[in-house]
Amino acid sequence: MTRRTVRGLVPVLLAAAALTGCSSDTDSDGGAKAEKSAGAPAAETAAKGGTVGASGSGCELPVTFDLAKGWKPKAVSVDPDSELAELGTQGPVTIVCEIDAKPAGHIGFLRVWQGKGGGASPRETLEGFVAADENASKAAYKQVSAGGLTLTEVSYTLHSELLDEDRPARAFALTTPEGPLVVHLGGLDSDEHGGMLPAYELAKKSVRMG
């Protein structure tokens, strides 16, 4: 299994941080109001091109899910003693896998982040993830079911100071025996995000334990 350290991830993370930022303000009411009207209508689901999560799949995870055709997964290892470790951590979770959309013609990633322990709920994990991004706002949470699992999903807005524009962002979280897991969809801009939504929907609808 190919594994790259956070040093190999730095150009990607720095570019993402420069273009989109990485932090958040949740709704003042804790998102209860947002749950009633969370997110845009569900995007169509991409055709399956592979799976990730099992041994030999590019990233070994406590879950598996389907990948859209052309998307390429690669495991990421973050050295906690590195000066750059904070680039690979957002709130309660640390990045463990990047799934690159460039081979499929898009600029962006599905990123998988994992936390430790099983105390936090998916909602609490997502709230911590979004709250760690100072450029995030308008977070809307909802509960969804997939493959017999209960997930929490958040739709929110990220503001890019560099581009002086907003773009949508999405993530879902679930609890696993190895700790909470977050799958996040990034993108260069709103158009790229929209073009990658079917791949995100495929991952969300197909996620399963083991």
Write down the domain spans for the chain.
3-209
The pTM for the full model equals: 0.78
Q: Are 101 and 109 in contact (CB under 8 A)?
A: yes
Place of tokens 């690159």: 100
Tokens of 40: 């845009």
Q: Are 134 and 207 in contact (CB under 8 A)?
A: no
- Tell me the C-alpha distance between 51 and 140, whole Å: 28
Q: How many percent of the chain have pLDDT more than 70? A: 80
Q: What is the CATH number of domain 3-209?
A: 3.40.1000.10
- Tell me the C-alpha distance between 87 and 132, whole Å: 12
The model's pLDDT over 155-203, given as tens digits with 9 standing for 90+, comes to 999 987 777 788 899 999 999 999 999 999 988 888 999 999 999 999 9
